[in-house]
Amino acid sequence: MRGRGPHPTSPILEPPPPATTDAGRRDAGKKRGPQRDHRERDNEGKLKPMFRKSEPAPPPPIDREITISEGITVKELSEKLGVKAGLVIKQLVDRKIFATINQTLDTKLTEEISRAFGASTAKMSYEEESVQDVESTEVAGDLESRPPVVTIMGHVDHGKTSLLDAIRETNVAGREAGGITQHIGAYHVEINDRKIVFIDTPGHEAFTRMRARGSKVTDIVVLVVAADDGVMPQTKEAIDHARAAKVPIIVAVNKIDKPEAQPERVKQQLTDMGLMPEDWGGDTPFVPVSAKQKQNLEALLEIILLVADMQELKANRARPAVATVLEAQLDRGRGPVATLLVRNGTLRVGDHFLCGTVFGRVRALYDDRGNQVKEVGPSMPVELLGLESMPEVGDGLQVVTDLAKARQIAEFREVKAREVAMAKTRITLDQFHAQLREGETKELNIILKADVGGTAEVLSDTLQKLSTEKVRIRVIMAGVGAITQSDVDLAAASSAVIIGFNVRPERKATEAAELEKVDIRLHTIIYELTDEIKRAMVGMLEPVFKEAYKGRAEVRTTFRISKVGTVAGCYVQDGVITRDCQVRLLRDNIVVFTGRLDSLKRFKNDASEVKSGFECGMAIAGYNDLKPGDIIEGFVKEKVAPQLGV
């Protein structure tokens, strides 16, 4: 074994013998040199292991920007990036996402894929992309003047509604008193062969909601200020909203016919807020008017047209229509109906459209006078039939030609909206006591509404005294009157439970509560309320009876019949009133009496039930103080199984 040398492929286990000649030393140095170069030593002089980490290649530098819209497919993304669809699919597979070329991608994933190919992204909605494509092909000759859209705002009781009614009746062109229907929510008047469109939403709520959704539908704001009252809190709020929307303001100083009117004081107050009158050297038009006496209304309309001319409002009637939803309601005979304001283009019967999550075809159009029309132009209000479901107020409507793409976008938005709705959970008393048992919740927020201020104060103190070391009851608002939509909005924002004591929710509030998943609990006996809160706190909430709403009827007139008492002639507005149901008498949305029906008649015959849309006679057992305008609400108490066990 001593005479045999190492195998050529075997590792050298021992260092070579020292070289004796100069040539040998040089050869040995050459052999050892590379080992000294490549094998580094650490601080202790030991050789470091010879291996290298494989680092991922950095992403390519960003050298271009692409525009992406919601619901973009793999194929569309590859076309925008200028690469083959297979390379985009490979990037998705690397992220453990298996997709086809027709599959839609969400925005975040699209941004990541684009970055991998050295492109940055700019997000744009499908409607914005469509509008941009149309505007790129427009020429100046296609544009023509369009009517201005006006919103009237101001403080409560300063005459906004009176001014709207006076303008509507003083139709300068037609002289048709009351010739315009109100149900559509918007209408137009004519002066000097020109049109002005008024949105019939005098309050700030709808105006603000539109602006919050990014829909600018108003061109001019008319600020109504009472000459005898001056600037009030909502006046300041209206000015802030108008400035935030960046629209011109015209001040209508109303009630100048009153002896105590001081229009100069109004000018001074508004000057302090930055609205300088034109006759004082400013740029804000002030028009003294009287809605009651119909003074200076024509002057106000002429000023509106003058301000509109300065804005140079233009539109293109030849392009596909773009509109905004002002109102949406479910009509029993016609299905979902939307009130639109056409911002640009012409909307025609038969057009296919995309409106939020709704894809549909225009089946019929009705103008603001209730007449059926074939088409409607820019700035005009219209009622649209042909929706498959209810759109949201403030949604944009876009007429489309690529039907497959529009249907794909609608389905994508519907899936996203469903995901948001499922993620949006509000706390209820049932969830509260379940979370208490799991140790999650320590505080219960309550919004309290009662029929009188003293009751609200007592209930607020009583509920807050129920707080313990483990659970804190917090009354974030205690008020008087019916439960309104703003109460529901506050409850949704603060994850609160609404408790109504001897009051009922308004219809809009009930709809909003169902939409926002807000829990509303109604009580008439204080110890039942406190017992329910206590059971929720200790995790023993087991409702045995649940109130089921049956219907409501409005008292139109009353009759006094001897040996019977007061009988109310009623019109059933909603649902059905049955002979055996319990009833609750509401006056101004406040519970006045709760009891049972003594009799229910249709004409002279006894009736077991009366459905919505029919008239009937009712007598309430043990109660005769019925007045026209009262609401009789029918309900039954149903025994239900406990939702959660102890």
Q: Name the pLDDT band for 617 (thresholds 50, 70, 90).
A: very high
Q: Is 363 in the same domain as 498?
A: no
Is-above-0.85 flag for pTM?
A: no
CATH number of the domain encompassing residue 520? 3.40.50.10050
Q: Is 438 in the same domain as 397?
A: no
**Number of domains into which the chain is organized:** 5
Nearest residue to 250 via CA among 232, 280, 270: 270
Q: Is 153 in the same domain as 256?
A: yes
pLDDT at position 487 over 50? yes
Last residue of a domain, one of 287, 312, 337: 312
d(CA 444, CA 427): 9
d(CA 367, CA 339): 10
Q: Is residue 250 part of a domain?
A: yes
Q: Name the pLDDT band for 642 (thresholds 50, 70, 90).
A: very low
d(CA 315, CA 343): 8
Q: Name the pLDDT band for 424 (thresholds 50, 70, 90).
A: very low
Q: Is residue 132 part of a domain?
A: no
pLDDT at position 300 over 60? yes
pLDDT recorded at residue 355: 84
pLDDT at position 631 over 90? yes
CATH number of the domain encompassing residue 182? 3.40.50.300
pLDDT recorded at residue 556: 93
pLDDT recorded at residue 272: 86
Lowest mean per-residue pLDDT among 160-174, 260-274, 420-434, 438-452: 420-434
Q: Is residue 165 part of a domain?
A: yes
pLDDT recorded at residue 568: 92
Domain that holds residue 462: 429-541
Q: Name the pLDDT band for 11 (thresholds 50, 70, 90).
A: very low
Q: Are 381 and 186 in contact (CB under 8 A)?
A: yes
Q: Is residue 645 part of a domain?
A: no
Q: Is 530 in the same domain as 557?
A: no
Q: Is 187 in the same domain as 294?
A: yes
CATH number of the domain encompassing residue 626? 2.40.30.10
Q: Name the pLDDT band for 175 (thresholds 50, 70, 90).
A: very low
Q: Is residue 19 part of a domain?
A: no
pLDDT (tens digit per residue) in 489-516: 888 877 788 999 888 888 888 888 888 8
Most confident among 88-97, 432-441, 613-622 (mean pLDDT): 613-622
| CA distance readout (Å), 612 to 380, 550, 571, 616 | 34, 11, 8, 10
Q: Is 209 in the same domain as 173?
A: yes
CATH number of the domain encompassing residue 75? 1.10.10
pLDDT at position 571 over 90? yes
Last residue of a domain, one of 490, 511, 541: 541
Nearest residue to 478 via CA among 495, 504, 459: 459
Last residue of a domain, one of 419, 450, 468: 419
pLDDT recorded at residue 13: 47
Q: Name the pLDDT band for 46 (thresholds 50, 70, 90).
A: low
Q: Is 158 in the same domain as 265?
A: yes
Q: Are 245 and 216 in contact (CB under 8 A)?
A: yes
Q: Is residue 31 part of a domain?
A: no
| CA distance readout (Å), 275 to 225, 236, 297, 375 | 13, 11, 21, 40
Q: Is 457 in the same domain as 562?
A: no
Q: Is 458 in the same domain as 400?
A: no
Q: Is 393 in the same domain as 362?
A: yes
Average pLDDT over the chain reads: 77
588 CA to centre of own chain: 28
Stretch 301-326: mean pLDDT, rounded? Answer: 87
Q: Is residue 130 part of a domain?
A: no
Q: Is 101 in the same domain as 203?
A: no
pLDDT at position 136 over 80? no
Q: Is 534 in the same domain as 551?
A: no
Higher pLDDT, 70 or 604: 604
d(CA 479, CA 206): 23
d(CA 102, CA 71): 10
Q: Is residue 43 part of a domain?
A: no
Sign of CA dihedral 196, 199, 204, 209: negative
